[in-house]
Amino acid sequence: MGLFTIPPQPVKKLQGDPRWANASAFASYAPLVVLTLLFLSIIQIILGAIWMANLKSLNFPLILQPLIVPCLSFFNTVPSAQLHLYSRANSPMTAFCLSTILCLFYLVAALINLVVCSPDTASLPALCPAGTVHKKGAPPGTRDHSGPHISEGYWDATVALWLLSAVGYAIAAGMAFTVRLRMKGREREGRRVGKTRQVVQAEVELEGLSPEEVERQNEKARKRWQKLSAG
């Protein structure tokens, strides 16, 4: 069991929102995941700009994957990093929803490119490096040059970064979901503790408990609540 135990983030300032760190040692690494995604989005925007510069014509579908999706990631990770590291108050539900959406965006973008740019069955050559896929309706060996004039290695690196970002957002969504579940569980436990105190008070009134017994019951409820709050 200890082999798979994730230690808490050792750098206190990088733990971010204390609610996340207290909920799960795994979630204490959320700021690092966000910063990594921010760094990846900047690289992708630079690569996407070069990709666009090498297109023969610009239209929304062709710039959606290489540039617009990374820009969405950038404008998501900047405020998310601010909420984690400076405000230290990041809503896990909001983080879960945005991370899930961006994970799907990146995953779909990567899969579309991998599927439509298969050398023998290319169905959307405008997304593929010029000259790397067969031209439909043309004799064998004829290559389609309608795509961006980038190398196959450049294309491979860009799609790999999209897949890496999809994995990063999946991890971020998992962290947010874990924190959300823990917080909901603690709210339920808190309500139970509150009901316990009401029961203790009722016992005092009905059974005439001694002050020492009342204090002992309240102390038990108080320790339980402190344990829940500390995670």
pLDDT along the chain (231 residues), means of 10: 64 79 85 94 92 73 80 93 85 92 94 78 70 61 68 87 96 92 74 58 53 68 65 54
DSSP H helical ranges for the chain? 18-23, 30-53, 60-63, 69-82, 92-116, 152-207, 211-229
Residue 132: domain span: 2-186
CA distances from 60 to 25, 67, 68, 72, 113 (A): 42, 10, 9, 15, 16
Q: Are 167 and 99 in contact (CB under 8 A)?
A: no
Residue that is written with structure tokens 């980038």 in the block: 150
Q: Which helix (H) or strand (E) holds 143?
A: strand 143-144
Secondary structure (3-state) at 144? strand
Q: What is the pLDDT, as a whole number, of residue 45? A: 93
Q: Are 74 and 100 in contact (CB under 8 A)?
A: no
Question: Would you say residue 175 lies in a domain?
Answer: yes
Q: Are 172 and 95 in contact (CB under 8 A)?
A: yes
Q: What is the pLDDT, as a whole number, of residue 49? A: 87
Question: Would you say residue 195 lies in a domain?
Answer: no
Query: How many other CB atoms are found less than 10 A from the CB of residue 63?
Result: 17
Count of domains in the chain? 1
Residue that is written with structure tokens 């962290």 in the block: 175
Q: What is the pLDDT, as a whole number, of residue 141? A: 58
pTM of the model: 0.75
Question: Would you say residue 36 lies in a domain?
Answer: yes
Question: Would you say residue 118 lies in a domain?
Answer: yes
> Angle of helix 152-207 relative to helix 92-116, nearest 10 degrees?
150
Q: How far apart are CA 205 and CA 198, in angstroms?
A: 11
Question: Would you say residue 152 lies in a domain?
Answer: yes
Question: Would you say residue 116 lies in a domain?
Answer: yes
For CA atoms 120, 122, 125, 128, the dihedral sign is: negative
Question: Would you say residue 192 lies in a domain?
Answer: no
Query: How many other CB atoms are found less than 10 A from the CB of residue 137?
Result: 6
Question: Would you say residue 191 lies in a domain?
Answer: no
CA distances from 169 to 72, 123, 163, 189 (A): 13, 28, 10, 30
